[in-house]
């Protein structure tokens, strides 16, 4: 049973603040182990990868190889259901189209005194994409990470995935092929991150590493950050549904459970101004849980982290939405566009009663890698911008230098940087 908070209660602010600061994931102390694994990969390269993969994934890379080859891809296509392959291609096309619009444009202009300024965007040279093994080995996540890199123009897109018991989900290989991944290796965990950052005989190093992973992978990414770029560290998933009374409680319950079934700290929240709807949704959640083939994750997440927040009026909701700053926000209200204008902190917003968040997970076209754990207050979902970087450009002629020199020299002097001043004055015989 999820917690219920009423904004009319005297202790609401206190309870809401406590709810916001609920910790939803463990941070096991794996720093030292990860450091040793990465050091081992740096020192022994492929040999370390083989040994660690035998130990952690029970797979013999001497037999099946580190690199996934064209034959493996072809075999994966044969194992995959044709309808699923088509769905992946539809998703790829929609993600590609949407992300093409995110490509930033170069800017170059001359200002009033003749100084030329500019911003120039270029793709990072290479990207490593981590894909988890086992149950969380999602082909949709392969698309969501690889397609924006492809759109950005990244030349090398290198995927690593642990061969759990020797096996890789064939749909992950198919998705990688469909997305344009250029190299695939059978390696996971901190050892994969170490290999991507520092390279081995088989795996050339990359410039940036993205993609979700377990605690070992997350810590490894933090440790190699600086040597390479990383994306943000993904936390447990969240959905916040804002609903007026004119909703089918079954629909809302289904949306809350879709998020909850991710388990591992996933959180589903309903905000409504209608006590009756709130009760109906809670009943519908309970009823639908009974019909799920694998209800355990969803039941535990709803019980431990689920919340129903009842407000006196939906006018109170935008402030709460911004404080929650959820990864996904569904606006199941009469005028979602008007509501959207009143909020600022959300990873992705799904407008209206016919836009379940799940569409965004797969085929909406927008990215499903989004800021979690309230980080939508300061960060954004994955986009083409994560695979490009900007170089600023400045160009002065003698006349512009003469005009700007006095101020530059004054400031250099004020900061006690004599050589800075001279670098300007020496060009002017000042």
Of residues 169 through 228, those in contact with a copy of itself by CB under 8 A are: 171, 207-208, 226, 228
Question: Is 152 among the residues that bind a copy of itself (CB under 8 A)?
Answer: no
Residue 275 annotated in active site = no
| Burial class of residue 429, CB neighbours in 10 A (0-12, 13-18, 19+) | exposed
**Three-state SS at 204:** coil
Residue 25 annotated in active site = no
- Whole-number minimum distance, CB 289 to a copy of itself, in Å? 9
- Whole-number minimum distance, CB 26 to a copy of itself, in Å? 14
Point out the catalytic residue in the list 328, 330, 357, 368. 328
Q: Which stretch binds a copy of itself (CB under 8 A): 62-70, 183-191, 313-321, 396-404?
A: 396-404
Residue 148 CB partners (closer than 8 Å, separation 6+): 95, 99, 102, 367, 382, 383, 384, 386, 387
Q: Which stretch binds a copy of itself (CB under 8 A): 54-62, 159-167, 269-277, 418-426?
A: 418-426
Helix, strand, coil percent values for the chain (each to nearest 5): 50, 15, 35
191 is in an annotated binding site: yes
- Whole-number minimum distance, CB 147 to a copy of itself, in Å? 14
Q: Which stretch binds a copy of itself (CB under 8 A): 12-20, 33-41, 274-282, 390-398?
A: 390-398
Strand order, beta sheet including 126-130: 183-185, 156-160, 126-130, 208-210, 229-230
Binding test (CB under 8 A) with a copy of itself, winner from 64, 73, 215, 363: 363
> Footprint of a copy of itself on residues 54-83 (CB under 8 A)?
81, 83
Question: Is 371 among the residues that bind a copy of itself (CB under 8 A)?
Answer: yes
310 beta partners: 6, 272
Question: Is 412 among the residues that bind a copy of itself (CB under 8 A)?
Answer: yes
Question: Is 165 among the residues that bind a copy of itself (CB under 8 A)?
Answer: no
State the Cα–Cα distance between residues 207 and 189, nearest whole angstrom: 18
| Burial class of residue 295, CB neighbours in 10 A (0-12, 13-18, 19+) | middle
Structural contact between residues 270 and 278, judged by C-beta atoms closer than 8 angstroms: yes
Question: Is 147 among the residues that bind a copy of itself (CB under 8 A)?
Answer: no
Question: Is 320 among the residues that bind a copy of itself (CB under 8 A)?
Answer: no
State the Cα–Cα distance between residues 381 and 383, nearest whole angstrom: 6
Contact map string, positions 5 to 44, toward a copy of itself, x by CB under 8 A: ----------------------------------------
Binding test (CB under 8 A) with a copy of itself, winner from 14, 22, 204, 391: 391
> Footprint of a copy of itself on residues 235-294 (CB under 8 A)?
250-251, 254-255, 257-258, 260-262, 288, 292-294
Question: Is 427 among the residues that bind a copy of itself (CB under 8 A)?
Answer: yes
Q: What does the DSSP assignment read for 341-358?
A: HT----SEEEESTT--HH
Question: Is 110 among the residues that bind a copy of itself (CB under 8 A)?
Answer: no
> Which residue in this structure is represented by tokens 């089918």?
248
Binding test (CB under 8 A) with a copy of itself, winner from 60, 276, 410, 430: 410
Cα 375 versus chain centre, distance: 11
283 is in an annotated binding site: no
Question: Nearest-5° angle of CA 341, CA 343, CA 346?
Answer: 120
420 is in an annotated binding site: yes
Task: Report the residue number, 41 or 61, with the smaller CB distance to a copy of itself.
Answer: 41
415 is in an annotated binding site: yes
Is residue 277 left, alpha or beta, with left meaning phi > 0 and alpha meaning psi from -120 to 50?
A: alpha
Closest CA to 360 of 143, 155, 181: 143
Question: Is 351 among the residues that bind a copy of itself (CB under 8 A)?
Answer: yes
Q: What does the DSSP assignment read for 131-194?
A: ---GGG--HHHHHHHHHHHHHHT-SEEEEE---BTTB--HHHHHHHHHHT--EEES--HHHHHH
Question: Is 360 among the residues that bind a copy of itself (CB under 8 A)?
Answer: yes
Task: Report the residue number, 312 or 406, with the smaller CB distance to a copy of itself.
Answer: 406
Task: Report the residue number, 4 or 84, with the smaller CB distance to a copy of itself.
Answer: 84
Closest CA to 179 of 148, 208, 202: 148
- Whole-number minimum distance, CB 347 to a copy of itself, in Å? 7
Structural contact between residues 154 and 125, judged by C-beta atoms closer than 8 angstroms: yes
328 is in an annotated binding site: yes
Task: Report the residue number, 26 or 313, with the smaller CB distance to a copy of itself.
Answer: 26
- Whole-number minimum distance, CB 54 to a copy of itself, in Å? 27
Enumerate the known binding-site residues for substrate: 237, 259, 262, 328, 361, 415, 420
Catalytic residues: 327-328
Enumerate the known binding-site residues: 130, 191, 214, 237, 259, 262, 328, 361, 415, 420
């Amino acid at each position: 049973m999820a917690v219920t908070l009423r904004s009319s209660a005297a202790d609401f602010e206190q309870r809401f603040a406590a709810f916001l600061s609920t910790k939803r994931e463990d941070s096991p102390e794996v720093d030292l182990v990860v450091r040793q694994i990465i050091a081992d990969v740096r020192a022994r390269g492929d040999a370390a990868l083989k040994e660690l993969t035998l130990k952690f994934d029970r797979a013999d890379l001497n037999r099946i190889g580190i690199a996934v080859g064209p034959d493996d891809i072809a075999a994966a296509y044969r194992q995959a259901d044709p309808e699923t392959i088509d769905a992946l291609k539809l998703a790829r096309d929609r993600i590609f189209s949407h992300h093409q619009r995110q490509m930033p444009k170069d800017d170059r202009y001359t200002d009033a005194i003749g100084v030329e300024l500019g911003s120039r965007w270029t793709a990072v040279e290479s990207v490593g994409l981590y894909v988890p093994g086992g149950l969380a080995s999602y082909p949709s996540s392969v698309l969501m990470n690889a397609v924006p890199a492809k759109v950005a123009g990244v030349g090398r897109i290198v995927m690593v995935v642990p061969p759990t018991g020797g096996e890789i989900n064939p749909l992950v290989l198919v998705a990688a092929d469909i997305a344009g991944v250029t190299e695939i290796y059978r390696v996971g965990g901190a050892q994969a991150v170490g290999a991507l950052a520092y390279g081995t005989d088989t795996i050339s190093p990359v410039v940036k590493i993205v993609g979700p992973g377990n605690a070992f992978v997350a810590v490894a990414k933090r440790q190699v950050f600086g040597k390479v770029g990383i994306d943000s560290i993904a936390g447990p998933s969240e959905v916040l549904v804002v609903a007026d009374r004119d909703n089918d409680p079954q629909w809302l319950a289904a949306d809350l459970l879709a998020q909850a079934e991710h388990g591992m700290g996933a959180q589903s929240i309903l905000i409504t101004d209608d006590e009756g709807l709130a009760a109906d949704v809670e009943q519908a959640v309970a009823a639908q849980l009974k019909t799920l083939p694998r209800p355990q994750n969803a039941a535990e997440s709803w019980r431990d982290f689920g919340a129903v927040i009842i407000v006196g009026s939906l006018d109170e909701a935008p402030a709460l939405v911004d404080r929650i700053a959820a990864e996904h926000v569904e606006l199941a209200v009469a005028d979602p566009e008007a509501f959207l204008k009143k909020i600022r902190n959300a990873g992705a917003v799904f407008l209206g009663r016919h836009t379940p968040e799940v569409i965004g997970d797969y085929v909406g076209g927008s990215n499903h890698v989004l800021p979690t754990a309230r980080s939508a207050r300061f960060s954004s979902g994955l986009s083409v911008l994560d695979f490009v970087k900007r170089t600023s450009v400045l160009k002065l002629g003698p006349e512009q230098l003469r005009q700007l020199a006095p101020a530059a020299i004054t400031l250099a002097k004020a900061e006690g940087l004599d050589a800075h001043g001279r670098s300007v004055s020496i060009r002017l015989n000042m």
